[in-house]
Amino acid sequence: MSAGQDFLQEQVTLSAPQDGDRGGGPRTPNRTCLGCREEAAKRTLTRLVRGLDGTVRLDRTGRAPGRGAYLHPSMGCIELARRRRALERALKAQVDTALWGDLETAARREAAPATALPEDG
């Protein structure tokens, strides 16, 4: 006769993605790089801001008040923006030469290989 085959049903729970959540578009805000004119996620770009005093500076927090402009942290894009005076035009302000130095420093840091940090803390 047949052996009682009772409790062999395994409930396989697959986390099936529901299709209902699609179609809203990406949440990440995009900005245009002043250098290469390509759109990129805001987080990946360096923000420059014209402060209330009219000075353009690097905005490391990304939240400084004032008119902002965005640039890839790469030498190529910095150089392009610099030569086209794209930053001056975008912010309608004078850009101090020192700012380009700051940008290049930031770009170099970005390009540098990440130093191996100890994983255990």
Q: Rule CB under 5 A: is residue 106 a binding residue for Zn ion?
A: no
Residue 92: CB atoms within 10 Å? 10
The separation between CA 52 and the C-alpha centre of its own chain, rounded to angstroms, equals 24
Residue with smaller CB distance to Zn ion, 57 or 70: 70
Q: Rule CB under 5 A: is residue 68 a binding residue for Zn ion?
A: no
Q: Rule CB under 5 A: is residue 82 a binding residue for Zn ion?
A: no
Q: Rule CB under 5 A: is residue 73 a binding residue for Zn ion?
A: no
Among 49, 69, 77, 95, binds Zn ion (CB under 5 A): 77
Q: Rule CB under 5 A: is residue 36 a binding residue for Zn ion?
A: yes
CA distance 78 to 75: 5
Applying CB under 5 A, the residues found at the interface with Zn ion are 33, 35-36, 72, 77
